[in-house]
Structure 1
Amino acid sequence: MTYKSSILRIESFYSTHLDNKRDIYVYLPPSYTYEKTKRYPVLYMHDGQNIFHPAFNGYSWHVDQTVDRLIHEHKMEEIIVVGIPNMGLERSDEYTHDLEGVHYQLDKVPVQPKGHLYEKFIIEEVKSYVDSVFRTKTGPEHTALMGSSRGGQVTYHIGFRHPDIFGKLAIVSPYFYCVDPISSEEIRLYHTFTTKQPLSQIWIDLGSAEGTLVMEKHTRVVTEELLDLGYEADTQLIYFNDPGAAHVEKDWAARLSSPLIHFFGCKGEARSLSLVGCEEVGIVGPTSRLNPILEFGDDFKMSLLRATYHVEDQEIVDVLANGTFMPKKHGVTSVTVKYKDLEATTEIRVVSELKEFVTLDMVVHVPPNTPDDMNLYAWFPLLHDPSKGTYCNQLQVPLHAEFIYQISRRDGIVEVDSTGEPVQHKYKAIEDATIEIDVRHWMRNEA
């Protein structure tokens, strides 16, 4: 007989700490029904309504499918997964802690922080219930916490405040800073911990195409702070900058296998090494670093936080162990990164100066049936020019920032193509530019 995993729903789970109800989803692995004495590690995940099922945008993490496959392929041990849904409009409140350094008063939405209550809800109510009803391994070395965006922020805060409960943290595309898309003002939203906590494994990642919502410099500075506390780079603490990945469930799902294997499996032997990153750096300009990606087959990828670099002409540039360029003079040289018997090489051009920001002018032409008073957005608001019948705006974009975006309306209607499929646009800030977009069709996004 072939046994399959199952997903249970605990309806209307009440929290005395938060005074609200939500359904809780519990994934049980294939052997749970017949291994009556076996106990299992547990992964707790925020935003639990879209980890097994499609979200409002039609995407899902498909956690059950990935876990099933990795178990079947003997790449990870069997685990229980607990999905804790958010409460919609209360999500920002529950995922925000009132801690030193968290300037929630300046966030892009009004926030009344309930992070302390939310962590009590998870620990004292959800985890207590799960441990009492299901056959779990209860210790921190067997208990993981995972979340993305604001869920990544709250995972960071809860995990470092309660390492006696959660020994494994997956901090996915964390919302550590609020960046105003027009002014580029950066608002800090995380607390700095000054003492190393007894966490066994940490995973931190982001996608390179998350624009200013999640920026590499912000995610990396928190990672470097943790390394300074004594966490071991590339073994205990693993980091991944995923090329081309956006801030969306399908991209989080695509790299989910890596943190799962980091926590509950064995990644095996490294198979390939590649160098990703800017090919041009300025003697004057923003700090740049390479992204050396190490792959262990199809299911595990990571960016090396510390590596050995060899520069062909060291009079032109140096590269620190963390991949940061130290440009010296004009010229072109090759840089090679090595990991055991693997290596990768790229060519770097050093110029006198690179601007920190580039100027983007966006002009959007809309169909004649567009209401005159309708607000339009890319990843920033577009202003109506009645004399030309267009929407436009100009902003300063951080150099090398990548965006995947839609043209959308305030009423929820989005740009679609002739077949009714939503249109996605891509932009990377390389130089001053004007983008003209001709919207042919509007349709409500029903996903």
Structure 2
Amino acid sequence: MISRIIKHEQFKSEILQNSRTLYVYVPPGYDDEQFRESRYPVLYMQDGQHAFYADDAGGSWDIHITADRLIAEGRVRPFIIVGVSHISNVRISEYLHPMEGNESIQDVESKGHEYERFLIEEVKTFVDRNYRTLDGPEHTAVQGASAGGLVSYHLAFNRPDVFGLVGAMCPYFVSVDALTGKETRLGEKYTQKVPIKIWMDVGEYEGYTVMEKHVRAFADGLIDMGFQPGIDFWYYYVPDSGHSQKDWANRVHAPLLAFFGDIGQPERGELFGEECVALHDSVQRVNPVIFYNSGFVETDTDGVYEVEDPSIIRVETDGRLIPLREGATTIVYCKGKIRTQLSLTVVRELPEWVTVDIRVDVPPHTPETDYIYAGIPLPRTGEFEFGGAFQVPRSFACEFRISRSMNIMETAVDGSEVPFRRFKATDGLKLCYCVENWNDTLKETVR
């Protein structure tokens, strides 16, 4: 038995007045005679062209490979995946619901409500009519990352009668101006619990694109609203992870297990966090990550902690650190038979902001532009040089490829992909990079 991916090209939307490709994954056995009467849950994926395939604009989630594996292992029931492609020049517009200030920040018209109707009235109607689906909300998931995670979150809260399962990976809840630090909220802070299940995560190395403090604030709001961790809500602060398809591919199995299978039993844990915190720093947390025998993984948002010297620091059940005096101690996280620890020192003070100096040399054929992006926007400082000294939060960590816009990325001289670059901010850090080529100038520079 094998799975298939079916393409529906030029799928026309009367609501949005545009067309795009739909990709439909049907699981192994879907076409077999013995399963002709079987019906299947459905996962609707934003940015659908990257659900199964990579292209010049980005890598792939390879979610079909993960789904095939989990189904073959018997860890999830077979399900259908619908990849709904975005249209590049209206992606942000369609993924934004109206919020005060967001249109001026993004310089687009917010068409989230129209996209919502498109997904429900046109895409879902088409899929339910042409495929053997289980069409109730308890069997219908919606998932995306970044702005795709934002719109998925809004979709589920606005229409819990349609979408009962939501995967919000690295959701773009807050836009941060990297030059001024101004924050504009893009996500609605709902106050009324609805009958849905939510997976939410964020990576350590996402820089200003998506910041953990914003995502965790929304996660805390869901718990305050009545969502129960491990029952209808799962959160994961992902160590060593950035903001790209490769990162989402590495952990997409987790929400699939939560939505369509069995997460299994806790097997081991690891406690992550800063090794040094300031006496009056009230925003630091530890991150207890639990690994399950199914491959499922999550952050425990309601943990039990022991502190070797409780006169130095206190740990709240949500992982918040309350420094009490200077000194060094060890924090132990406990869950059943799992015990994992972290050594930590409390000092009198640490700077809230640190200075990072970044310099980037670009090739002579680089088109005229005022800024390039290397985790943060870099202004032009010379004919073929960008950069400067920048103040960033002390905990700032970023993984990136240097780019001139969302889809114009650095490449090697021959046009091949370059590895991701990354840094974690420390005061006085100096970084020097050299761009060899750009993916939009290959025809002129590569022979």
TM-score (norm 2): 0.92
Q: State the partner residue of 2:398.
A: 403
Structure 2 unaligned spans of 5+: 443-447
Corresponding letter in the other structure for 1:84: V
Cα distance in 1 between the residues matched to 2:188 and 2:369: 39
Query: How far is the alpha carbon of 1:414 from its aligned partner?
Result: 2.0
- Does the CA-based 8 Å contact 1:182-1:396 persist in structure 2? no
Give the distance between the partners of 2:36 and 2:343, measured in 1 at CA.
58
Residue aligned with 1:360, SS: strand
SS of match in other structure, 2:325: coil
| Paired position in structure 1 for 2:108 | 111
Task: Give the Cα–Cα distance (whole angstroms) in 2 for the partners of residues 156 and 312 of structure 1.
Answer: 40
Paired with 2:166 and 2:109, the residues of 1 have a C-alpha distance of 25
CA distance in 2, matches of 1:413, 1:423: 12
Question: CA 1:298 to 1:74, structure 2 compared with 1: closer, same or farther past 3 Å?
Answer: closer
Partners in 2 of 1:371 and 1:88 — Cα distance? 22
Of 174, 179, 183 in structure 2, the residue corresponding to residue 182 of structure 1 is: 179
Hey, what's the Cα distance between the residues in 2 that align with 1:392 and 1:29?
Answer: 49
- Measured against aligned partners, the alpha-carbon deviations of 1:287-317 in whole angstroms (never above 9, x if no partner) come to 1101100001372111111100111111110
Distance (Å, rounded) in 1 between the aligned partners of 2:271 and 2:385:
41
CA contact (8 A) 2:75 2:294 kept: no
Partner of residue 156, structure 1: 153
Matched with 1:36 is: 36
Cα contact 2:410–2:435 (8 A) shared by 1 = no
Question: 1:208·1:243 contact (CA, 8 Å) conserved in 2?
Answer: yes
Aligned equivalents of 1:221, 1:114: Cα separation in 2: 25
Partner of 2:227: 231
CA distances 1:11-55 after superposition (whole Å, capped 9, x unpaired): 222212111111211111112112111111111111111101114
1:328-347 alignment, distance < 5 Å: 328-347=324-343
What is the CA-CA distance between 1:106 and the residue it aligns to?
3.7
Residues in 1 aligned to 2:130 and 2:156: alpha-carbon distance in whole angstroms = 23
2:7 aligned partner: 9
Deviation at residue 356 of structure 1 after TM alignment: 1.8
8 Å CA contact 1:381, 1:393 repeated in 2: no
3-state SS in 1 of match to 2:76: coil
Which amino acid in 1 is paired with 2:136?
G
Alignment size in residue pairs: 437
Partner Cα separation in structure 1 for residue 385 and residue 62 of structure 2 = 40
Cα offset, 1:197, TM superposition: 0.3
Matching residue of 1:67? 67
Q: Tell me if structure 2 keeps the 8 A contact 1:285–1:355.
A: no
SS of the aligned residue for 1:353 comes to coil
Amino acid at match of 1:425: R
Q: Which residue in 2 is equivalent to 1:218?
A: 214
* 1:441 has 2:439 as partner: no
Q: Which of 413, 425, 446 is 1:429 aligned to?
A: 425
What is the rounded CA distance, in whole Å, between the counterparts of 2:97 and 2:404 in structure 1? 32
Matching residue within 254, 259, 273 for 2:255: 259
Judging changes above 3 Å, is the alpha-carbon distance between structure 1 residues 371 and 42 closer, same or farther for their aligned structure 2 residues? closer
Contact 1:181 1:379 in 2 (8 A): no
Q: Match of 2:265, SS?
A: coil
Residue 58 (structure 1) shift:
4.5
Q: Does 1:392 align with 2:390?
A: no
Question: Which residue does the alignment assign to 2:81?
Answer: 81
Using the TM superposition, give the Cα deviation of residue 204 of structure 1 relative to its aligned residue in structure 2, in angstroms. 0.1
How big is each residue's C-alpha offset from its partner over 1:148-177, in whole Å with a ceiling of 9 and x where there is no partner? 111111011110011111111100110001
Cα distance between partner residues in 2 of 1:187 and 1:131: 37
Task: Give the alignment partner of residue 268 of structure 1, picking from 248, 264, 269.
Answer: 264
Task: Quote how far apart the aligned CAs of 1:193 are.
Answer: 1.0
Matching residue's letter, 2:51: I
Cα distance, 1:129 vs structure 2 = 1.5
Aligned twin of 2:445? none
Which residue identity lines up with residue 194 of structure 1 in the other structure?
Answer: T
Between the aligned partners of 1:301 and 1:168, the Cα distance in structure 2 is: 18
Displacement of 1:370 in angstroms is 5.6
Partner of 1:246: 242
- Shift in CA distance, 51/415, structure 1 to aligned 2, threshold 3 Å: closer
Match of 1:129 among 126, 130, 148: 126
Alpha-carbon distance change, 395 to 232 in structure 1, aligned in 2, over 3 angstroms: same
Aligned partners of 1:413, 1:20: CA distance in 2, in Å? 27
Residue 26 (structure 1) aligns with: 24
Cα 1:285–1:430 change in 2 (3 A) is farther
SS in 1 for 2:69: helix
1:144 to 141, 162, 168: 141
Partner-residue secondary structure (3-state), 2:270: strand
Q: Are 1:106 and 1:187, in contact at CA under 8 Å, matched by a contact in 2?
A: no
Letter of the structure 2 residue corresponding to residue 43 of structure 1: L
| 8 Å contact kept, 1:286–1:356 | no
Question: Within 2, Cα distance between the matches of 1:420 and 1:55?
Answer: 12
Task: For residue 98 of structure 1, report the CA deviation from its aligned partner.
Answer: 1.3
Whole-Å separation in 2 of the counterparts to 1:436 and 1:282: 30
Q: 1:183 to 1:51 in 2, by over 3 A?
A: same
TM-score of the superposed pair, with normalisation by structure 1: 0.92
Cα displacement (A) at 1:212: 1.2
